[in-house]
Amino acid sequence: MTALVLLEFDAAGIKQPSRSAVAAAAKLGEVHALVAGEGVAAAAAAAAKLPGVTKVLVADAPALAHALAEPMASLLVALAPAYSHLFAAATAVGKNVLPRVAALLDVQPVSDIAGVVDADQFVRPIYAGNALATVKSADAKKVITVRAASFDPVAAEGGSAAIENVAVAVADAGSRFVGAELSKSERPELTAARVVISGGRGMQAGENFRLLEPIADKLGAAVGASRAAVDAGFVPNDYQVGQTGKIVAPELYVAVGISGAIQHLAGMKDSKVIVAINKDEEAPIFQVADYGLVADLFTALPELAAELGKG
């Protein structure tokens, strides 16, 4: 029984959600990793260092440059016969590619798992995390995406896997990458940060998110947001935390001007410590907060920045 894990990477190495996917796969047995893209030698070398990975498959081709679902899926389908399980992190890429792979293999995928029971059984949240379902797959092969926040990532270094090139012949499947508009930030990625500070509709305007900056600087935090703040155009879509946005479980989550709708809680309620700052003492966010401060954020945030400065 060997699992193949599709990795995501950037210039800094293998992304943390992918390292969590490796950790989930390693619960079942041997793990091979797949690095696919164009000019991926450095990523392949980084993948070979992941503890628990015994072989790295490298597919280097222009058609794979942007991780489009159609070529990525045909690659994975070609590699699938050698594996009992195919894994990826439940990221935008994993969620785009793996269900396509599953359908081509006539498999019902198991999305966004939060636990591995055995080779056939997995735990996954349903209904915005209000219930945890244990499901058993009857398919011979499993196709799985992993909720990264639920598995401690393997370290970035320590292993020494063999690297093997795989030839790919990817047919044109009617999709073409046009361009990307990526948010630039010096901050840690939301799903990898030790501290996250998020703003909601209570922030009132995009420029007020600047009030979070000095605090995020002092705490080394990523900045997130509720759907309402994204819909209102205060911040870009990739800030959204929640059922249908990013799932985070940092050591510390600070919710500012966020009411605490079920869909938001779904994305952050597994954080170790939750702080809520809200002027409405009845706000549901206080029901999950370890520390609640009933205050106007426009006075509390500058005070918080100053207080942390005293550190």
Ligand X SMILES: Cc1cc2nc3c(=O)[nH]c(=O)nc-3n(C[C@H](O)[C@H](O)[C@H](O)COP(=O)(O)OP(=O)(O)OC[C@H]3O[C@@H](n4cnc5c(N)ncnc54)[C@H](O)[C@@H]3O)c2cc1C
What residues numbered 173-202 form the site for ligand X, per CB under 6 A?
Answer: 200-202
Q: Is 195 in the site for other proteins (CB under 8 A)?
A: yes
Among 48, 72, 116, 297, which residue sits at the site for ligand X (rule: CB under 6 A)? 297
Which whole-number Å values give the CA distances from 2 to 5, 32, 229, 252, 301, in the listed order?
A: 10, 7, 43, 36, 50
Tell me which DSSP letter residue 144 carries.
E
Q: Of 159, 163, 140, which Cα lies nearest the Cα of 26?
A: 159
Contacted by 252, from ligand X, other proteins, none: CB < 5 to 8 Å by type:
other proteins
Among 1, 82, 169, 178, which residue sits at the site for other proteins (rule: CB under 8 A)? 178
3-state secondary structure (DSSP) of residue 254: strand
Contacted by 283, from other proteins, ligand X, none: CB < 5 to 8 Å by type:
ligand X
Do residues 73 and 105 touch, judged by C-beta distance below 8 A? no
Among 13, 71, 245, 250, which residue sits at the site for ligand X (rule: CB under 6 A)? 245
Please state the closest distance from residue 69 (CB atom) to ligand X, in A. Answer: 22
With contacts defined by CB under 6 A, how many residues of the chain interact with ligand X? 27
Please state the closest distance from residue 188 (CB atom) to other proteins, in A. Answer: 13
Among 12, 42, 136, 155, which residue sits at the site for other proteins (rule: CB under 8 A)? 136
Subset of residues 48 to 77 that bind other proteins, contact rule: CB under 8 A: 66, 68-70, 73
Which whole-number Å values give the CA distances from 57 to 113, 125, 165, 213, 276, in the listed order?
A: 24, 31, 6, 41, 45
Phi and psi dihedrals of 77, rounded to 5? Answer: -65, -40
Q: Over 203-230, what HEC string results?
A: HCCHHHHHHHHHHHHHHCCEEEECHHHH
Q: Is 131 in the site for other proteins (CB under 8 A)?
A: yes
Among 106, 186, 207, 282, which residue sits at the site for other proteins (rule: CB under 8 A)? 106
Q: Is 129 in the site for ligand X (CB under 6 A)?
A: no
Q: Of 187, 225, 191, which Cα lies nearest the Cα of 208?
A: 225
Alpha-helical runs (H) found in 30-117? 41-48, 69-79, 92-104
264 residue type, one letter = H
Q: Is 283 in the site for ligand X (CB under 6 A)?
A: yes
Please state the closest distance from residue 267 (CB atom) to ligand X, in A. Answer: 6
Among 31, 110, 154, 228, which residue sits at the site for ligand X (rule: CB under 6 A)? 228
Which whole-number Å values give the CA distances from 209 to 184, 200, 256, 257, 308, in the listed order?
A: 15, 9, 10, 11, 18
Q: Is 118 in the site for other proteins (CB under 8 A)?
A: no
Spatial distance between the Cα atoms of 196 and 205, rounded to a whole number of angstroms: 19
Q: Is 210 in the site for other proteins (CB under 8 A)?
A: no
Q: Which residue is nearest to ligand X (CB)?
A: 242
Q: Is 271 in the site for ligand X (CB under 6 A)?
A: no
Among 2, 236, 249, 279, which residue sits at the site for other proteins (rule: CB under 8 A)? 236
Among 27, 65, 78, 139, which residue sits at the site for other proteins (rule: CB under 8 A)? 139
Binding site for ligand X (CB under 6 A): 200-202, 226-229, 240-245, 257-259, 261, 263-264, 267, 278-280, 283, 296-298
